[in-house]
Amino acid sequence: MATEVKVPTLGESVTEATVGEWLKQPGDAVEADEPIASLETDKVAVEVPSPVAGVLAEFTVELGETVEVGAVIARVEEGAEGKSADKPAAAKSDDSAAKESAKEMEKLPDEDAKGGDAPTMSPAVRRAVLEHGVDPTTIKGTGKDGRLTKEDVLAAAKSKGSGESAPAPAPSPSPAPAPSAKGERREERVKMTRMRQTIAKRLKGAQEEAALLTTFNDCDMTAVIEAREAYKDVFAKKHGIKLGFMSFFAKAAALALKDVPAVNAQIQGDEIVYHDYVDLSVAVSAPNGLVVPVVRSIDQMSFAEIELAIADFGKRAKAGELTMEDMRGGTFTISNGGVFGSLMSTPIINPPQSAVLGLHRIEDRPVAVNGEVVIRPMMYLALSYDHRIIDGREAVTALKIMKEAIEDPMRMLIDL
């Protein structure tokens, strides 16, 4: 008896998704609740499990097709027996075999192409496998349910290049690829993921609807750097997490938003909604684009709780494990372009929020202190805000409070 596999409820206000990846192929054995497909929504990737144990009979939609909640995407023959990923096949061990295996997997990821245990891979992981010519069947996945991550592939490629793993047998002779013609130029067309399309629409919409303005300030990081250096070892020993800069800026932002509530407010229709809490959206990189999971009630959290929450989001974002609930809400955003080397930027707000704080790289610069020129570790801060709801005086005041809290962290402990 064939059982239909339907698109599950995707989250609040999300009605459709794009079929991003098939995790199983027709003829494969599947267990009840085992993921068989990955759908890309506006915010995160959602895995679709099989409702019963059996054999995947067929797909009813195409890869890349847009599907609505409740749509049938596949059928599973309940109780039937099919190909099992637990039955090992002869593995190809040389470099050319690894590349061939990866290419075959890109086209049709069935058991024969995988040459052994069948790792499921996201598009980003597939590209990494092809680029580095590694055999994905020999890599131990660290993602959810043992799935491969891009970091797993890069680590395997590095290990292979450094000779840490056993040397592979010499590949069989094959004709060398023809060199590219001199001056040849190539183009590649890659369809935008649903998440990337949504990011583009939301950011462009923010520019068109909001009255965006950015105010800047610079911040002396000496006190925070000294505090981290003095307490990093005991902090890590007690809490099991490193003391980073983000917890300082999160606490500083919470302090400023309490004093200047307009920066933490939102426009809904013809009303302004003020919040007596701070739900902080933290921009992190994921394989399919930038995502902003929310740390809730961050104004009530300790430094350690903030660091642990942010670290968990970063890890789950890389593994593609963030959920809709993780992304819901948020009253203010912090985006740290400094980790990529940015000196200064004008971040765009994350609607319906009204402001975003941009952090940048720390750079030694000469500054005047008590009439003397000294070298200090400085960072530019940027606060972009919606001028429809936030006046310049309020934005400048909020950013000044953040700056002062970072330059004198004691202010955060005594609520000044």
Question: Pairing state of beta strands 332-336 and 284-286?
Answer: unpaired
Q: Which of 227-241, 288-302, 378-392 has the lowest mean pLDDT?
A: 288-302
Where are the alpha helices (H) located in 163-221, listed in sequence order? 194-209
**pLDDT of amino acid 246:** 92
Q: Which of 33, 112, 233, 387 is catalytic?
A: 387
CA distance 26 to 351: 41
Question: Pairing state of beta strands 284-286 and 280-282?
Answer: unpaired
Q: Of 137, 150, 147, whose CA–CA distance to 288 is shortest?
A: 150
What confidence tens digit (pLDDT) does each residue in 318-352 have?
A: 887 888 788 888 999 999 988 888 999 999 998 88
pLDDT at 307 over 90: yes
Cβ proximity of 21 and 38 under 8 Å = yes
Task: Name the band, by pLDDT with cuts 50, 70 and 90, for residue 280.
Answer: very high
**pLDDT of amino acid 138:** 82
Sequence-distant (6+) residues with CB within 8 A of 121 are: 21, 105, 109, 129, 136, 147, 148
pLDDT at 302 over 90: yes
Query: How far is CA 181 from each of CA 131, 175, 176, 186, rounded to the nearest angstrom?
Result: 21, 17, 15, 11
Average pLDDT, the chain: 81
Q: Which of 61-65, 140-144, 396-400 has the lowest mean pLDDT?
A: 140-144
Q: Which of 63-72, 174-183, 208-217, 282-291 has the lowest mean pLDDT?
A: 174-183
Sequence-distant (6+) residues with CB within 8 A of 202 are: 350, 351
Q: Which of 17-21, 190-194, 201-205, 223-227 has the lowest mean pLDDT?
A: 190-194
What confidence tens digit (pLDDT) does each residue in 218-253 have?
A: 999 999 999 999 999 999 999 999 999 999 999 999
**pLDDT of amino acid 122:** 63
Question: Pairing state of beta strands 294-295 and 363-369?
Answer: unpaired
Average pLDDT, stretch 277-301? 86
Average pLDDT, stretch 13-41? 83
Average pLDDT, stretch 263-275? 93
Task: Name the band, by pLDDT with cuts 50, 70 and 90, for residue 11.
Answer: low
**pLDDT of amino acid 346:** 93
pLDDT at 179 over 90: no
Sequence-distant (6+) residues with CB within 8 A of 59 are: 22, 26, 73, 74
pLDDT at 123 over 60: no
Among 149-163, 172-186, 348-362, name the most confident range: 348-362
Q: Which of 10-19, 187-196, 255-264, 360-369 has the lowest mean pLDDT?
A: 10-19
Task: Please give, one letter per residue, the 3-state secondary structure of 314-367.
Answer: HHHHHCCCCCHHHHCCCCEEEEEHHHHCCCCCCCCCCCCCCEEEEECCCEEEEE
The one-letter code for the residue type at 161 is G
156 vs 386, which has greater pLDDT? 386
Cβ proximity of 245 and 229 under 8 Å = no
Other Cβ atoms within 10 Å of 200 Cβ, number: 12
pTM: 0.63
Q: Which two tokens stand for residue 270?
A: 């013809």
Average pLDDT, stretch 202-222? 90
How far from chain centre, in Å, is Cα 400? 30
pLDDT at 98 over 50: no
What confidence tens digit (pLDDT) does each residue in 36-90 have?
A: 888 877 667 778 888 888 888 888 888 878 888 888 888 888 876 655 544 444 3
Residue percentage of the chain with pLDDT more than 70: 79
Residue 391 annotated to the active site: yes
DSSP state, 176? Answer: P
**pLDDT of amino acid 91:** 39
pLDDT at 173 over 80: no
**pLDDT of amino acid 111:** 36
**pLDDT of amino acid 216:** 97
Average pLDDT, stretch 198-225? 89
**pLDDT of amino acid 90:** 38
